[in-house]
Every structure is written in structure tokens, then in C-alpha cells.
Chain A
Amino acid sequence: MSAGVYVHVPFCVTRCGYCDFNAYAGLDHLRSRYVAGLVREAELATPEWSRETFVSVFLGGGTPTTLGVEDLQSLLSRLRSTVDVASDAEVTIEANPDTVDRAKLSGLLDAGYTRLSMGAQSFDRAVLAALERLHDPNSVRRAMHAARAAGYANVNLDLIYGANGETLESWERTLRVTVDLQPEHVSAYALTIEQSTPLGRKVQRGVVPAPDADLQADMFELACEVLGEASFHHYEVSNWGKPGLECRHNLGYWERRPYLGLGAGAHSYRDERRWWNVRPPEEYLSLVESGRLPIGGDEQLEPSEAHLEEVFLRLRILEGVPSSWVEDERSAPFVASGLLLENDGALVPTERGMLVLNELVLALAG
């Protein structure tokens, strides 16, 4: 089965208030050790993955572009020499618009990073401030132009909606600017408040209001409308791509294909087993440098857990759940109320259904 590799780069210039990913500011001194550690981990993992061909590589973070072009180039080439990465693999790198320019982007493309995913988040300064993003909306425009000039033909823009103070009008402007920039792919995420983050604590203390779920629902519907008109294919709850340019790597997660995660806190999955690396970069490094797999925990999925995941993921990517999996009386009320469509023997959520996907999952997974 075609697998994917995820490579986690935990470095950031600063931490954003809403982000609960395994990312750290101020660990720049670990960079070159970390790159070597990733390669070492790939070598340690090879025996188990030797028969796998990887059709996608995804460098996420953190901010992978905090690493220099040389490091990134050497990382990818050494990875390719360690595990079997298909020659036409989709190789994505996440980029912060402030950490890239045309020269760097040319270097990345030359190094084999074929797909660029940029954290734009919003084109409204006030919204960016509410998200504690340091960049200027114009830097996204500049980075986009630089990417095109460097030759990138597959660019994603990440957006976040529902931050404190964002209105439906502001969101519409962000969507319009996004469409005007003509990316191949857009990910639009409703802002989710994670309790462990600085923003989560502010919401708990009542300093910042929690996002209004109804407004976020309106924003979702607006995204469906604007992106749909611009002929994006809505193929996952939060993802839109030009036909044929859906993110192959992320589809791998949702289609339950195997993936190898490298780096601090990265998750791997194969044969209904999921395991994850230790999160602190230093601990991760000390383990791989002493020749040990840096595994922090694992789980073997019970059939019921695997079933819940399968229903959940199938509904997310609009592949839907085969009608034969679900008794009619369970699904009928949702079909009748327009949350599910019966399509070619599958139960597929409508746009409204996607918004209440958790309810659908729990009802259909039993």
C-alpha cells in the first residue's frame, strides 16, 4: 500500500497563542543536530518499512522553513537514500510567509519540495493580531508571488476563521483575496480553542470570548460558496483543492493508509497500530543519537475503535460510509433532515451535515 512520511520540525520563531502543536521557540541551536537526528531515526525505522513505497512526504511543524535551504536539501536527499520515496512523490513543505523569499523558494523547489503550504491565516490585520501572528497580510502576497516566480505550481494557503473580532464581512474579504491569489489548494479551519494554549487560558479567564459557533457555521458556509464558485473541489471538511491537486499526503491519513512519522512527537500508523514519538526535542535527540527508536507510546486499535475511526474519516473526506454499514432507521432521520445524502450506495454528509459531523459519526458508528 502506498504510504506517506511525515517529518516534524518543532522550531518556531515565536509561539502563536492558539497553537497547541509540538513546537518551540528558542531551540534554534538544536537545528543541525535535529536534521541529523531525523535521518538517524529514518535509518532506525527502515527495517520495518523497507517494503513500503512512500508516495508523499510532508514537512510540517513548527515552522520547517526556519531550517536553511542546505539543511532541507540534505534532509530530503538523505531521506530518499534511506527509504523508498517514489520519484513522483508529492513533497510538501509548510512555510511561514516571513521566512521565505524567492531565492529560498527556488532552492526548495530545486531540492525536490514540490508543494508549498503557506500559513496565511487571514488577510485582515486585526484578525492576525488576535491570532498573535506576526506577519503582515502583504507578506503573504509577496510570498505567493515569490513562489510563482520560483516556479511553484502547487501552493496551498492555510486560513483560520472565527478569531475574536472577525466578522463575516472580514472573512469574506480574506476569502476573496485568497481566491485572487489563485492558489491550487486552500485549507480553512475554524479556530478551535485548545485549553492548554495561552489563548485557551484567556478564554477560560473570560479575557477573550470563545468563538461563536453560529458565526463559524456562517463562515464555513461562506467558504463553501466562495471557494466553490472559484472551482475548488471541497473534498474534506476543511480542505478545498483544484481537481487533481488534492493533498495526497493528508488523504493518506483520512484513507487510513500507513504513515511513518519522523521527529519529536510525530505519529506513525500501520496495521491498526498507532505509535508516537516523545515530544521534547532534546529527549527525542538523545534517544535517536543513542540508536534507539524514540517511541513515547502506542496503541493497537480495537475493532470498535478502528470502526469509529473509519466512519469518522470516511465522512470527513466525503467518500461517505457504505449504506450497508448502517441500519436504515439510524440514517433515515439524517437523510430526511438534509444532513446526509444517499449517493451511489454511500451515505455522504451535505455541507450542513459536515458542520455537525461529530453527531453524524456518533449516530452512524453506533
Chain B
Amino acid sequence: MPAVTEPTRIRNFCIIAHIDHGKSTLADRLLELTHTVPDREMREQYLDKMDLERERGITIKAQAVRLAYRTSDVDHELNLIDTPGHVDFTYEVSRSLAACEGAILLVDAAQGIEAQTLANYHLARDAGLVIVPALNKIDLPQANVEESRRELAELVGEEPNDVLAVSGKTGQGVTDLLERVIELVPPPSGDPNARLRALIFDSSFDPYRGVVAYVRVFDGALPSRSKVRFMATGIDSDAEEAGVFAPEATPVTSLDAGEVGYLVTGLKDVHQVKVGDTVTLAGKQRAQEQLPGYREPLPMVWSGLYPAEGGDYTELRDALDRLKLSDAALVFEPETSQALGFGFRCGFLGLLHMDIVKERLEREFSLELIATAPNVEYHAVRGDETIVVHNPSEMPQPGTYDRVEEPIVLATIITPSEYLGPVFELCQSRRGELLEMSYLSPERAEVHYKLPLAEIIFDFFDQLKSRTRGYASLDYEPIGYELSELVKVDVLLHGEPVDAFSSVVHRDKAYGYGRRMVDRLRELIPRQLFDVAIQASIGSRIIARETVKAKRKDVLAKCYGGDITRKRKLLEEQKKGKARLRRVGRVDVPQEAFIEALRIDKGDRTKAGTRS
């Protein structure tokens, strides 16, 4: 078992980089250089690809790996902490950063600074981390080392020659980088003799061991087997094991002040182990004050999930219950739709999170799902009362409230200067308000916009990419609620509103939404025995209309020669098809029509990129 390490010899750091700027490859070199992984076991992207199905061991990803490195006869304990990869998880990123004293700010020398580089840099700086800037991929022929070095130096306020140049691929400069981390990043402070306070910066669910917390000990010591208390949730538990990833999960007798590792909590529900919470000892040894910065996970995007087969409701409920064990950010409550039957209104951190959950439900639990159009949380205000709207059908009737407010984000976009025009146009068309613009270099600009969250959850990122030939990058953070001109658009089939198709949209976009839904449904609703009117309305005012003309011919032409068996089978098939229809008023609507009408086109999807 690793011996207790003097805090002065510990360095806790992370690597922050835009997606594809080479974080995982650099981590591979650090594992090699420190002999953390024997040469013969080394493979590419080692930490990302650790075998997740090891029997009885801990089957979750190493979010923090311990490296041993010796300089001038001093043995150092280096804890490399991973940060979650996506803009949906800003809060989780901030907790990972809080576990570190320093960060390598890694920038692809061919690409330069990107929006997520910047966003994470600001988060890291705000968290008081020492920044070690480094250019990566300098072995690439297209690397623009001098230009990128100037840009990065300017960002962090250092001289260009303070920016190290490395190649994660060839290993060039990596030793210098590691030495620089040891030199610049301060050892952890904290009182080893105070009562235990450890920050939970991430958690996972292991099918054999239950909930595993990733912790950074600030004060005191966390013994391997101990009765612990989770301060925010007030839960006590008999923790089963403390350990470190080296990179395999390795038990230790205790995690001491300044150290980073894992804790097998003895709990079975991730909701009891919240990111940002503080672990202390239970009973008299309990610390008085939590570590700062704890926040409940806040869903940003809401959508109704319904089983495509109505009978699968119980299966969906069980699946969500199971998923919740390993996904602390997932919230859901039962809801009923006239059109879709029984389902759940689910809250997600963002669209990516929603995709992940939906995909896991479909893949791991073999469910076929209909997801209603995602929406943000609106606030309808009536006098002193605020009605929280998670589902368009909860929106009060026009005229019965004083105002509606919607969530606003601060978006940061970095783009080559030549595409500033198209970027402005896009943001303007999304109700954006330009706050600030500056040049990172004569060729690259940084733009800050205030935008409604609802405007960027659909297709904003793809639009941004296509208008800038893929060069622009985006990051955003919520900054509160503001008054807005919002209306609820309903979609009616043969005069009957279909709740699943209702949406809350800005007044200026109402016609566009109504027209799009009506046009889509015209293609998706099969012809019936009567004309079906498809209408979009705001309150009682119709804003778009299409008609699906009555079906005139549905008959088998020939029925002779005696092969009536085949004709009967065709009819039986048709009957089975009918059984899969959902009835809205008098109109039969296929499942597929709901799925297709509510599908977010490839073009309307925001992938705000992974932040790594």
C-alpha cells in the first residue's frame, strides 16, 4: 500500500483543453514517463479505454490517476484529475477544478485557442488555479507554434517563452512540462490535524460496490473503513474502502490531507452522494462547515419521454429508476399526455445529457421511446405568484398572466475574424444581444453574446459551424431569467389539440414553428377516410393550416384464382398496422409520425462540443 505522502510533495492538477487538442495522448505520455503503467501494458488513450468490465473490481473510469515521479531525489505524488467533457456539465467541471491547485492549459498549435479552452481557462482561473500553458501537437507540419504561443501567452498574461511546446505524440517536451507543473503548482494546503473535510468532485455507480465517490481530502484524514457523513444530504454511511487509481483501483489505509482518491461509500443511490458535497466523519468527529461551492444539479432542458408501446410504461419507470442510480443529474416525474398516454417529464443538464439518457434507455433497456420537443424552464408570473413551466401544457392561457420569463445564457464564441459577419447574423436572428467583442489576434475574435437558452439548444451550434466553415467554437453559461414575449403554439388535428406537439416559443418565431409542424405532419399523417385539417394556433388564432385529403382508394383490385389466403393475410397485416396507431379525436396517427414530427433534425441539434 502506498505510504503516507508529505503534502509538500503532492501536486493535484488537471489538463484543460478543447476537444481533440490532445489531452488523452498527453495523459498517455505522463503514464509512461512516470512508469505508472508498465511499458508492455501501455496502449493508446489508456485512461479512456480502461477495461470497464473487470470482475468484482471497480468498474468505473479512473477520474483521477496517481502518478509517482522522482526529481532531484524527491518522490512526488502527482494526481491527474479528469474533467467532464461537455458544456452541459459546467458545474461538474467547476468541482473537478476545485480539487486541483493547478491546470495545464493545453492548446493545439495548429488550431489555436477555442471557446472551450477559454471557458475552462476562466473557470480554472476563477477557482484560483495556477495555469501552466502549453502548446501541443508541435510535431504536426501545420503547427503554427509562434502564432499560437503569442495568442496563448497573451491570454494567460505571460511572456511567450513561458509557454511550453510539447508533442503528446512523440513525447517531445513532456518531461519539461511535468517538471514545470511540479515547480509552479503549489502543494495542497489544508490542515492534516483538523476534522475531515473531503470534496466529492464526481461519483459513479458500480454494480458490485454501489456508489463510488471521487474525493479530494482538504482537511484531516479519511480512513479506509469508517463511518462517514455526507454533509449536504445529511446521510451517514459505513464507507467500505478508500483508495487511489494507480491506474488500477488500489486500496489505501487512509487518504490524507491534500490527497485525491476514491471512496466506496457503502450507499446504493447516487442521489445520496452529490457532486460538490463534503464528506466528513460521522458522530463527534464531524466537521462544522461544508467546503464552499455546493449546488444542487439544475436541469436546464425538459422533455417528455413516452413508451412508443403504451404497455411499456412500467418498464420505462423501472428503467428510469435504475438509470437514476448512476445519474445524479437526472430528474423525472410522471406525466400524462392525451396523445401519448402515460410517460415522464424528465429534466436534463442539456441536450447532450438528454441524448445520453434516451440512448441508454433504448439500448440498455430495449425500450422504444417518443421524446417530446425539448424545452427550457419558463416562469409565468401572475402577481406574486410564479408558475414554473416545464411542459408547454402547463403554460397558462394567454391573458391570465402578467409576464413570462425565460432563461438567458452568456455565450462565448471564438471565430476567425473573416466570419464575424455571419456569426453576428446568426446571433441576431436568435434574439442575441452583443455584449463585448475583442481580438485574440488580428485573425481571431472573441465575441460575447447574451442569448436565450431556448435559442441555442436547437441547431445553433451546427449553424455556427456551417457559417464559419467549422472554425468557430462555442461555450455558454446560464446567467438568470429575463422577461420575454413568449407564446404557446398548439397544433390541432381535425380540431383537436395534440398536447405532445405544443411548444412555447418567442412571438416572432411562432409562425415558423407552426408552419414547420404543420408541414411535417402533412407528410406524416396518413390519409384517412375524411379530410384532416392540420392547424397551428396561438390561443384561438390559427396561424398555419394544411389539409390531408381524404383517402379515396384502399382496395385489393383482384380477388380471383382462389388464392384468398394471401388476400386475407394482406388484410390481417393492415389490421396489425392499425393496432399501432394512436387515436387523436377521430384521427389515426402512427407512432412514427410522433417520432418523426418531434425529431430534432440533424440540422437542429446543438452539440456544444466536448470540453476536454
Interface of A toward B, CB cutoff 8 Å:
6, 21, 60, 189-192, 213-214, 216-217, 220, 237-238, 250, 253-254, 259, 261, 266-269, 274, 276, 299, 305, 308-309, 312-313, 316, 334, 337, 339, 352, 354-359, 361-362
Would you call A313 and B564 a contact (CB within 8 A)? yes
**Residue B563 is within 8 A (CB to CB) of chain A in the complex:** yes
Return the chain A residue nearest B559 by Cβ: A316
A339-B529, A356-B529, A358-B571 are contacts. A309–B553 as well, Cβ < 8 Å? no
Please report the C-alpha to C-alpha distance between residue A312 and residue B554 in the assembled complex, in whole angstroms. Answer: 13
Q: Which one of B530, B552, B555, B557 has the greatest number of beta carbons of chain A within 10 Å?
A: B555
Q: Which residues of A contact B567 (CB under 8 A)?
A: 312
Give the contacting residue for A355; candidates B549, B552, B564; CB below 8 A. Answer: B552
B568 touches A309 (CB 8 A): yes
Contacts of A220 in B (CB 8 A): 553
Q: Are B557 and A238 in contact (CB under 8 A)?
A: yes
Contact A259 B562 (CB under 8 A): yes
Q: Are A214 and B561 touching (Cβ within 8 A)? A: no
Given contacts A358-B571, A362-B574, A192 and B556 within 8 Å (CB-CB): yes
What is the distance, in angstroms, from A14's C-beta to the closest C-beta of chain B? 20
8 Å CB contact of B555 from A21, A334, A337, A358: A358
Inside 8 A of B572's CB, which chain A residues have their CB? 308
Kindly provide the distance from the CB of A303 to the nearest chain B CB, expressed in whole angstroms.
13
Contact of A192 among B530, B558, B575 (CB under 8 A): B558
Encoded as 1 (CB less than 8 Å from any A CB) or 0, chain B from 533 to 564 comes to 00000000000000001011111111111111
Inter-subunit contact B564/A274 (CB<8 Å): yes
Given contacts A190-B557, A238-B558, 20 further A-B contacts (CB under 8 A): A189-B557, A189-B558, A190-B553, A213-B552, A214-B552, A217-B552, A220-B553, A237-B555, A250-B560, A254-B559, A266-B562, A267-B565, A268-B562, A308-B571, A308-B572, A355-B554, A355-B555, A356-B553, A359-B551, A362-B575
Contact of B560 among A191, A214, A253, A308 (CB under 8 A): A253
Does B35 make an interface contact (CB < 8 A)?
Answer: no
The closest CB in chain A to the CB of B575 belongs to: A362
Interface hub of B559, B562, B565, B567 (most chain A Cβ within 10 A): B562
Nearest-Cβ distance from residue A63 to partner chain B, whole angstroms: 14
When C-beta atoms are compared, the residue in chain A nearest to B530 turns out to be: A337
Neighbouring B residues of A254 by C-beta, 8 Å: 559
Assess the B554–A269 pair: CB atoms within 8 A: no
B578 at the interface (CB under 8 A from A): yes
Given contacts A337-B529, A359-B554, contact A6 B564 (CB under 8 A): no
B568 in contact with A305 (CB, 8 Å): yes
In Å, the complex CA distance between A354 and B557 comes to 10
Q: List 27 A-B contacts (CB under 8 A).
A: A6-B562, A21-B561, A60-B561, A190-B555, A190-B557, A191-B557, A192-B556, A192-B558, A213-B552, A213-B553, A214-B552, A217-B552, A217-B553, A253-B560, A267-B562, A267-B564, A276-B563, A308-B568, A309-B568, A313-B564, A337-B530, A339-B529, A352-B552, A355-B555, A357-B554, A357-B555, A358-B556
- Whole-angstrom distance between the Cβ of B558 and the nearest chain A Cβ: 5
Q: When chains A and B are docked, how far (Å) is the Cα of A190 from the Cα of B601?
A: 38
Contact of A267 among B529, B563, B574, B575 (CB under 8 A): B563
Q: Could you tell me the distance between the alpha carbons of A250 and B552 in the complex, rounded to whole angstroms? A: 26
Known: A354-B555, A357-B555. A309 touches B574 (CB 8 A): no
Nearest to A366 among chain B residues (CB) is: B575
Could you tell me which B residues sit within 8 Å of A by CB distance?
529-530, 549, 551-565, 567-568, 571-572, 574-575, 578
Bound CA–CA A192/B538 (angstroms): 44
- Select from chain B the residue with minimum beta-carbon distance to A306: B568
CB distance from B223 to the nearest CB of A (A): 70
A299 to B563, CA, bound (A): 12
CB distance from B556 to the nearest CB of A (A): 7
- The 6 A-B residue pairs with the shortest CB-CB distance, nearest first, are A267-B562, A217-B552, A357-B555, A217-B553, A190-B557, A213-B553
Partner of B554, one of A261, A268, A309, A356: A356
The answer to whether B571 and A362 have CB atoms under 8 Å apart is yes
Instruction: Report the Cα distance A319→B104, complex, angstroms.
Output: 86
What residue in chain A is nearest B567 (Cβ atoms)? A312
Q: A269 contacts B564, CB within 8 Å?
A: yes
For A217, list chain B residues within 8 Å (CB).
Answer: 552-553
**Which of A21, A214, A267, A308 is in CB contact (< 8 Å) with B553?**
A214
**B553 near A216 (CB under 8 angstroms)?**
yes
CB pair A312 B562 closer than 8 Å: no
* Most chain A beta-carbon contacts within 10 A, residue among B560, B567, B578: B560
Q: How far is the CA of A213 from the CA of B554 in the complex (A)?
A: 8
A355–B553 alpha-carbon span in the complex (Å): 5
Closest approach, in angstroms, between the C-beta of B62 and any C-beta of chain A?
52
Q: Which residues of A contact B578 (CB under 8 A)?
A: 362
Residues of B within 8 A of A337 (CB): 529-530
Do B552 and A253 touch across chains, with their CB atoms under 8 A apart?
A: no
Closest to B562 in A: A267
Contacts of A192 in B (CB 8 A): 556-558
Report the nearest A residue to B565, measured CB to CB. A274
The chain A residue with its CB closest to the CB of B563 is A267
Minimum CB–CB distance for A200 against chain B, Å: 14
Is the pair B561, A267 in contact by a Cβ cutoff of 8 Å?
yes
Give Cα distance in the complex from A354 to B559, angstroms.
Answer: 13
A269 & B562 in contact (Cβ 8 Å cutoff): yes
Cβ–Cβ < 8 Å partners of B554 in chain A: 213, 355-359
A259 vs B529: C-alpha distance when bound (angstroms) = 35
Q: Given the complex, which residues of A lie within 8 Å of B555, measured CB to CB?
A: 190, 237, 354-358
Name the CB-closest residue of B to A249. B560
A237 to B567, CA, bound (A): 14
